[in-house]
Amino acid sequence: MRLDLVTLVVADYDAAIGFFVDALGFDLAEDTPRGTASDGSPKRWVVVRPPGGGAGLLLARADGDEQTAAIGHQSGGRVGFFLQVDDFAATYERMVEHGVELCEEPRHEEYGTVVVFRDVAGNTWDLLGPVS
């Protein structure tokens, strides 16, 4: 058994793809048309994954008021996503270059280097590097 996908509700497919692919270095695994939303706009099945595999994110454009209200609040204001990287400095630099919203300065904890950031939808994440 393995976790394959987690849905992340976003406002715009292309902005979300740009964030995860360009700013974080994820791979675009799939981008396939999938019918129409309730407002008649085209829907897509968009999946991004960290390089090397693992669980992916299904980037789902909000459809309706309830889903729109969930954008950026999928974990109730807590850090809801944890991105473990081997090279914290390189990933952090890439994020800074792409204007990722950082909520703090990087800090060193007993479990590694960490910084909290917000994704394109406003959800909070921990970027975690190895213990120095």
Model pTM score? 0.93
The CA radius of gyration of the chain, in Å to the nearest whole number, is 15
At 6-27, the pLDDT tens digits run 999 999 999 999 999 999 999 9
Mean pLDDT of 57-69: 95
Structural domains in the chain?
5-128 (3.10.180.10)
Tokens found for residue 43:
């829907």
Query: How far apart (Å, rounded) are the C-alpha atoms in residues 33 and 131?
Result: 42
Query: How far apart (Å, rounded) are the C-alpha atoms in residues 119 and 40?
Result: 27
At 100-116, the pLDDT tens digits run 999 999 999 999 999 99
At 66-98, the pLDDT tens digits run 999 999 999 998 999 999 999 999 999 999 999
